[in-house]
């Protein structure tokens, strides 16, 4: 468990100055609050809930649950009997009760420097109400699912909160995903309406998003599911200049009058036309605590993505309190999370957590390397960012260019630095700490998942001594354990499966439409525990160190991909008979995709085919899944019972000749052949 005293050796202590005003100023205070959150959750969470507006109060215990499949259905219920509306809490409460109407909610920074926009809480509330009325006028009702496929623009937040206001369930699909992926997600969640945009720039690259959206809608129609309406925001075309959101002047680079936007008059509607004239008042729909809030898809080890379902009250409390304490949020902060809202990090820590606290955030459309590798630090200085949250892959990418592009800017405003998405290697941690934060800013290495809703293992910046690469200790209400293969809890320093023994308010409630899959994926292996799928080590001081996935998942640039998903995209090509995909360590992306493909008889492997296969995966899943290496495999190493030995393939991908025990291998000559023809370069 958590030690009484924090270790004093081999740790980084962070900033003394911060302790004066911090919400959790010492390790002792952290421990005291942690014990309270476990021993008396009703009181602990009751205090958190006091900050929010409840239409009706909850009755009974704060959390009710079953985590044991042998005792019946798995469930988590938080604050039963309470009703509220998150949009009301994020916007109306801040504007009316807390008098933050004129406070900036977002500094939007476009892909192109100089393209910018400021939106206050009052303006955001008006825009959300208008769009909520638009959704209602299109027949969207409480409980309906709405798909959102948009770039990083303020209207993405508007669309998501408009859904929340009327009790509709948003399903945001990252704009980097392919038409096929969008179609799959629309079908699974049975969305009646899609919100998208004409297009956007990512660096120099123009993405014609509407084109992809149309392709997805066509695929849905082909599969017998016609989506009734598609609302398109004009982000690049001329009308974008007249967008009613705040004041900004899109530079020539953004407005793109030549963009060919396909238009289907039976389905398509223009965002601007609909919003024009819509009332900016909209009574919120009061929702029960366990009403669905949103669905967000994450890769599943069988290949088919899982629709992770989060519900209203618990998620609101959890994202709000983790944001406040993990970033030690203070009212004059300017916070910047570089994630895309299409991922859980953007949901919880761009939209919900910061707005619940009345925070001012930067919302960035672009890339860390465009137009040059100083862009991040330029933005930090421009908005005087105090709390900054990014991914190890971005840190490693920028680290390659040395300290000079960082030092071109002052970064004096920075107070806390955060990371998320994958284990951070100590070298990248040190660079982040020494060069970016100039040894002044604590680093919060936050471990969590789409499923957990918010941070579950994390330092608190003024309380927890840091160890580079460790996500340190559990957040309040979270009880981790490490299990061995037989499911026994290990005590003290140990390594094994990371599991959680009880729920916290923000944990997922089910896999949308598939409770069975929810139970099998997370609760079946070790009854009584939520199984994260990650390996973990606990050191002598009780610190937790995530060692990486222990299932068939890969973490590419902080994004989870299942090997099965990539394999099925490859075998869909007519000349691929069989495919096996493994991870190979990559200096920037963490892991890269190394694919082995067995071709059908008589087909010869060549560069053109390789390019075709890459394209095939990109089109089926999205650019993040583009294979880094593809090797032709005349045969794959299999056990006598026909199971592919991925462990051996991983060794081949990394050129590690010590294969361990291969006595179950059916034909060892296959391995020699694969070693001989390994791919060394992309
Ligand atoms: O393997 C862990 C890794 O990312 C996985 C969750 O991915 P996803 O659901 O896409 O959510 C990512 C953003 C929360 C985890 O199972 N992971 C995430 N954060 C860390 C991490 N691994 C080590 N350290 C972290 N801080």
Half-sphere exposure in the Cβ direction for 153 (13 Å, CA): 29
Q: Cα separation of 318 and 328, whole Å?
A: 15
User: How does pLDDT run across 82-136, given as a tens digit for each residue?
Assistant: 999 999 999 999 999 999 999 999 999 999 999 999 999 999 999 999 999 999 9
- The Å distance, Cα 476 to ligand 1 centre, comes to 18
Copy the structure tokens of residue 208.
């014609």
Q: Which of 134, 75, 182 is nearest to 523 (CA)?
A: 75
State whether residue 20 is helix, strand or coil. coil
Residue to mutate, 449, 454, 556, ligand 1, most ligand atoms under 8 Å from C-beta: 449
Alpha-carbon distance values, 312 to 93, 186, 193 (Å): 16, 22, 21
Cis peptide before 464 (omega within 30 of 0): no
Q: Which of 242, 239, 244, 229 is nearest to 275 (CA)?
A: 244
DSSP letters along 21-32, please? T-SS-SHHHHHH
Q: Which residues line ligand 1 (CB under 6 A)?
A: 298, 344-345, 420-423, 445-450, 471, 532-534, 546, 549, 555, 559-560
Tell me the average pLDDT across 386-403.
96
Copy the structure tokens of residue 204.
């120099």
- The Å distance, Cα 655 to ligand 1 centre, comes to 27
Copy the structure tokens of residue 156.
């993405």
pLDDT band at 16 (very low <50, low <70, confident <90, very high): confident
Tell me the average pLDDT across 277-295.
97
Q: Please tell me the predicted confidence (pLDDT) of residue 246.
A: 43
User: How does pLDDT run across 572-609, given as a tens digit for each residue?
Assistant: 999 998 999 999 999 999 999 999 999 998 999 999 99
Name the helix (H) or strand (E) containing 538. strand 530-538
Q: Please tell me the predicted confidence (pLDDT) of residue 682.
A: 60
- The Å distance, Cα 138 to ligand 1 centre, comes to 37
Number of DSSP helices (H) and strands (E) in the chain, helices first: 21, 31
**Number of other CB atoms surrounding residue 619 within 10 Å:** 16
Sign of CA dihedral 510, 512, 515, 516: negative
Asked if 140 and 132 touch (Cβ cutoff 8 Å), the reply is no
Given the structure tokens 């294969």, which residue do they identify? 659
Q: Cα separation of 353 and 387, whole Å?
A: 13
Copy the structure tokens of residue 179.
């038409």
Asked if 593 and 627 touch (Cβ cutoff 8 Å), the reply is yes
- Pairing between β-strand 229-233 and β-strand 443-446 as defined by DSSP bridges: unpaired
Which atom of ligand 1 approaches the CA of 548 most closely?
1
Q: Cα separation of 30 and 207, whole Å?
A: 46
- The Å distance, Cα 634 to ligand 1 centre, comes to 35
Tell me the average pLDDT across 335-355.
98
Do you know the residue count of the chain?
Answer: 682
Q: Cα separation of 666 and 663, whole Å?
A: 8
Rg (Cα) of the chain, in Å, rounded? 25
Tell me the average pLDDT across 196-220.
96
Alpha-carbon distance values, 470 to 278, 429, 447, 538 (Å): 50, 10, 9, 9
Please say if the pLDDT value at position 480 is more than 70.
yes
Sign of CA dihedral 633, 635, 639, 641: positive
- Pairing between β-strand 553-556 and β-strand 510-511 as defined by DSSP bridges: unpaired
């Amino acid at each position: 468990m958590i030690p009484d005293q924090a270790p004093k050796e081999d740790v980084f202590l962070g900033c003394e100055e911060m302790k004066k005003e911090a919400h959790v100023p010492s390790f002792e205070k952290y421990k005291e609050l942690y014990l309270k959150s476990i021993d008396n959750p009703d009181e602990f969470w009751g205090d958190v809930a006091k900050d929010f507006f409840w239409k009706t109060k909850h009755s009974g215990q704060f959390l009710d649950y079953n985590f044991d499949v042998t005792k019946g259905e798995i469930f988590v219920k938080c604050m039963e009997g309470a009703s509220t509306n998150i949009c009301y809490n994020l916007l109306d409460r801040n504007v009316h009760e807390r008098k933050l109407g004129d406070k900036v909610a977002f500094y939007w920074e476009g892909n192109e420097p100089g393209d910018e926009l400021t939106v206050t809480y009052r303006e955001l509330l008006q825009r959300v109400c208008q769009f909520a009325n638009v959704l209602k006028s299109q027949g969207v009702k409480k409980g309906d699912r709405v798909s959102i496929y948009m770039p990083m623009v303020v209207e993405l937040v508007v669309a998501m909160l408009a859904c929340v206001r009327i009790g509709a369930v948003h399903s945001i699909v990252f704009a980097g995903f392919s038409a096929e992926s969008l179609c799959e997600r629309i079908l699974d969640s049975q969305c009646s309406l899609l919100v998208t945009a004409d297009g956007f720039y990512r660096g120099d690259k123009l993405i014609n998003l509407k084109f992809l959206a149309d392709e997805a809608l066509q695929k849905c129609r082909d599969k017998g599911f016609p989506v009734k309406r598609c609302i398109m925001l004009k982000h690049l075309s001329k009308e974008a200049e007249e967008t009613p959101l705040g004041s900004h002047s899109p530079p020539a680079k953004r407005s793109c009058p030549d963009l060919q936007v396909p238009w289907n008059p039976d389905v398509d509607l223009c965002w601007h036309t609909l919003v024009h004239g819509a009332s900016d008042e909209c009574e919120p729909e009061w929702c029960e605590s366990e009403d669905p809030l949103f669905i967000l898809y994450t890769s599943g080890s069988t290949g088919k993505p899982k629709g992770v379902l989060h519900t209203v009250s618990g998620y609101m409390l959890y994202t709000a309190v983790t944001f406040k304490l993990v970033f030690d949020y203070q009212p004059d902060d300017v916070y910047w999370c570089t994630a895309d809202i299409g991922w859980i990090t953007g949901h919880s820590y761009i939209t919900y957590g910061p707005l619940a606290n009345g925070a001012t955030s930067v919302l960035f459309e672009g890339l860390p390397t465009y137009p040059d590798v100083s862009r991040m630090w330029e933005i930090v200085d421009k908005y005087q960012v105090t709390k900054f949250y990014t991914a190890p892959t971005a840190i490693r990418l920028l680290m390659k260019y040395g300290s000079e592009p960082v030092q071109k800017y002052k970064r004096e405003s920075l107070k806390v630095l955060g990371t998320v998405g994958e284990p951070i290697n100590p070298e990248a941690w040190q660079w982040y700490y020494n060069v970016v934060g100039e040894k002044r800013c604590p680093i919060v290495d936050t471990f969590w998942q789409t499923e957990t809703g918010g941070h579950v293992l994390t330092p608190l910046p003024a309380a927890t001594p840091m160890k580079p690469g460790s996500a340190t200790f559990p957040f309040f209400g979270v009880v981790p354990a490490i299990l061995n293969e037989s499911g026994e809890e290990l005590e003290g320093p140990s390594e094994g499966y990371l599991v959680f023994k009880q729920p916290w308010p923000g944990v997922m409630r089910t896999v949308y439409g598939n409770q069975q899959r929810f139970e099998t994926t997370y609760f079946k292996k070790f009854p009584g525990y939520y199984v994260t799928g990650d390996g973990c080590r606990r050191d002598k001081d009780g610190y937790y160190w995530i060692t990486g996935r222990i299932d068939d998942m890969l973490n590419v640039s902080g994004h989870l991909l299942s090997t099965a998903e990539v394999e099925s995209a490859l075998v869909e090509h007519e000349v691929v008979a069989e495919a096996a995909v493994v991870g190979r360590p990559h200096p920037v992306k963490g892991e890269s995709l190394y694919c082995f493909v067995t071709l059908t008889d008589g087909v010869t492997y060549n560069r053109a085919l390789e390019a075709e296969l890459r394209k095939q995966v990109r089109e089926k899943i999205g650019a993040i899944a583009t294979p880094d290496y593809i090797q032709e495999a005349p045969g794959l190493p299999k056990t006598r019972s026909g199971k592919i030995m991925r462990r051996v393939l991983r060794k081949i991908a990394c050129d590690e000749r010590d294969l361990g025990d291969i006595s179950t291998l059916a034909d060892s000559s296959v391995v020699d052949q694969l070693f001989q023809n390994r791919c060394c370069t992309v």
